[in-house]
Structure 1
Amino acid sequence: MNLAVGIDIGGTKVAVGVVDASGRILAKTRLNTDFTVTPQVMVGRIAQSVHNLLSENSVFSDKIIGIGIGAPGPLDPQSGTITCPPNLPGWNGFPLVEEMRKLLPYPIRMENDATAATLAEKWIGAAQDSNHFIFLTISTGIGAGIYLHGKLITGATGNAGDAGHFVIDPSAGRCTCGQYGCWEWVASGTAIARQASAIVGSPLSTKEVFDLAQQGNASLQQLIEQAYRYIGIGCVTLINLFDPDMIVIGGGVSQIGQPLFTAVQDYVTHHAFNPSGRGAKIVPAKLLQDAGLIGAAALIHHPY
């Protein structure tokens, strides 16, 4: 049985898993992304997690055909370098693949995390029947993967899909990238928690924000409705630009469920420019929080 290790590196956590050729996760673990240590130390922890996972589940090394890594952009997939990701402070110019190869004796391939998750949703997820779709992840930040005419569109340097840095509302303050009012600055999980914490005067997690809104906090309800509208604006922009028949939404914020999808579908129905675009489906990622992990493994099982 050929197996791949998938590593999904995010701004808050790293997921590691063993995935078979059918996309089934045989074993997985996670660790927190720690910015109090150097990237080299963090890579050491990730590599140790891989070794532990294989040992604990009696997976022999000759069964592993490679390691796929999904990481936040911007990055350079050709050299395996993390270039300047806002959500991985301190990792600028870090040769991730080179450092990982020192610790793990397998072929390694790295791509943008949203690109990897897009491949997963096409492989065994919500977009199996679509040849023209956008995968959107809304979590610590916002990223997109583009799948058109039956293939991934990754751009000249592998960084296509940095939709989180569309400018949505320039009056909303300065994004970590330096622009004002980027999409992820106003509508990511991080953005929702930041804005809500300012409203109530104490730190809140994204989940706590939605819980309090559901309990009747009018100010937070208004904030959530604004976030839905911002997500709708971004989706309309993607639809107008790429003409997909579907947008698949994953990431932590997608776990809100039907209220989010109803609000965004309604916005798209009323505001997409092309009548056909108004019919684009807005659907939840089938693979939920595992999309990035399975997508990273798909870089090995189904290289494009």
Structure 2
Amino acid sequence: MSNTSIRRGTNLPRMGDFNESVVLDAIRRHPKGLSRVELAHATGLSAQTVSNICRRLLDQGLTQESGKQSSGGGGKPRTLLRVVAGARYAVGVHLDPAVITYVLLDLLGTTVARRSEPTPLGTDIHAVTAEMVSAVRALIDDSGVEPERVLGLGIAAPGPLDAGHGMVVDPPELPGWGSVPLRASLAAGTGLPTLLDKDVIAAAVAERWMGAATETRNFLFFYLGTGSGMGLVVDDTVLRGASGNAGEVGGLGAACSTRALVDEAIQMGALGHEFTPTGPQDARRSLDELARLARAGVQPAAGVVERWAIRIGRGVCAAATLLDSDTIVFGGPLWPQMSEPFLSVIEPMVAASPYVKAVHPTRVTSTRIGEHVAAVGAACLVLDQTLSAQPGSLLLH
């Protein structure tokens, strides 16, 4: 059993809640189950502490016994514990300029319900947030999950954010969303404890919790959607910065947006003027066509995409060097269309870099979660805050 990604506990008497999270997190990461002896070894906790915590987790219905495991040498078989997936749930909402996505996850991160709808184009933000509240309620009702089992609601939104006040602060491509108290509005409307974070940070939390980065403590996530950004994880801690807006990538030369790519493609003659977008949803349709042409090797579309891939590659190489990351994960709503032409450029750049590969290899991979990684990440914010021992600065309200 690999212990590299399991958090360590402390035997100090006043750290019971922390230790309970450590044990639950360790069990969650091994779907087939762990014995109490394995848990003590993995977490650094005493056998008695582990036994007490396991009893509480069983009493709370968060774990269950899942069979026996031979202890070797003819000793008494050890009882395995595993997480009860349906014991608790979390809702995630991703506010994107093109589409709003809602998901309901169980404790193992499995999506049990999902719905999406185009982002309203009007500037009546009160009406939009009211629709979001209704959509969250419908998601839970239609799933058949008992509302009291839902731990909370996570929101992923484009930056900039005022994380302290739970506000969206005039994000690009979302006119009218200046200083909107989104966290308070959805908390009041749904009655759920609510968290708000940047979409790219939420996506990084998802990858750490259940995606392509579960076995590393140091990675960066490059998010490609209507806008772009990097989620940064160092020593198993998500970096949020002083205002919760870490991850802007313009200064690294890696900034990439749907609109900018489409505009350049039209300017270079790769797309006709009929593909000029009138809004984020149009821009995505235009990018789909650009990606199709690039995958087919049609010029100048392939050249436009290659130049953008080089910019992103330089940015992630610089960031991976700066943070000493061993994994680079790509994802986001637009990644499925762009993964093939982008990775064909970026993977060799990372492999050839004298910096990121100087001491250790750097793995380049795509998200395992899919295009809804930010919505899943929003729900993972709740699961991680509630159930994990990872230190964080998010506040539940």
Structure 2 length normalisation: TM-score? 0.68
- Asked if residue 299 in structure 1 is aligned to residue 381 in structure 2, the reply is yes
Give the letter aligned to residue 293 of structure 1: A
Aligned 8 A contact 1:132 1:245 in 2: yes
User: Is it true that 1:149 corresponds to 2:231 in the alignment?
Assistant: no
Identity %: 26
Partner secondary structure for residue 166 of structure 1: helix
Query: Which of 243, 253, 257 is residue 324 of structure 2 equivalent to?
Result: 243
- Structure 1 segments, 4+ long, off by >4 Å, are none
1:166 aligned to 2:166?
no
Report the residue type matching 2:383 in the other structure.
Answer: H
| Partner-residue secondary structure (3-state), 1:45 | helix
| Structure 2 Cα separation of the partners of residues 251 and 116 of structure 1 | 11
Note the C-alpha offset of 1:216. Answer: 4.6
Q: Is residue 2:70 matched to residue 1:70?
A: no
* 1:1-304 map, 5 Å: 1-163=87-249, 165-166=250-251, 168=253, 183-184=254-255, 187-198=256-267, 199=269, 200-203=272-275, 205-255=286-336, 256-271=338-353, 273=355, 275-276=357-358, 279-303=361-385, 304=392
Q: Which moved more, 1:31-40 or 1:239-248?
A: 31-40
CA RMSD of aligned residues (A): 1.9
Distance in 2 separating the partners of 1:125 and 1:48: 29
Q: Say if 1:189 and 1:252, in contact at 8 Å, map to a contact too.
A: no
Whether the 8 Å contact between 2:317 and 2:356 is mirrored in structure 1 is no
Contact 1:8-1:293 at 8 Å conserved across structures: yes
Task: State the alpha-carbon separation in 2 of the partners of residues 218 and 29 from structure 1.
Answer: 37
Unpaired segments ≥5 residues, structure 1: 169-182
Distance in 2, matches of 1:71 and 1:277, equals 36
In 2, are the aligned partners of 1:272 and 1:278 still within 8 Å (CA)? no
Relative to 1, partners in 2 of residues 1:277 and 1:34: Cα closer, same or farther, differing over 3 Å? farther
Task: Give secondary structure in 1 for the equivalent of 2:214.
Answer: coil
Q: Which runs of 5+ in 2 are unaligned?
A: 1-86, 276-284, 386-391, 393-397
- Tell me if structure 2 keeps the 8 A contact 1:240–1:272: no
Q: Which has the larger radius of gyration?
A: 2
TM normalised by structure 1 equals: 0.88
Cα distance in 2 for partners of 1:137, 1:43 equals 25
The alignment covers a number of residue pairs equal to 287
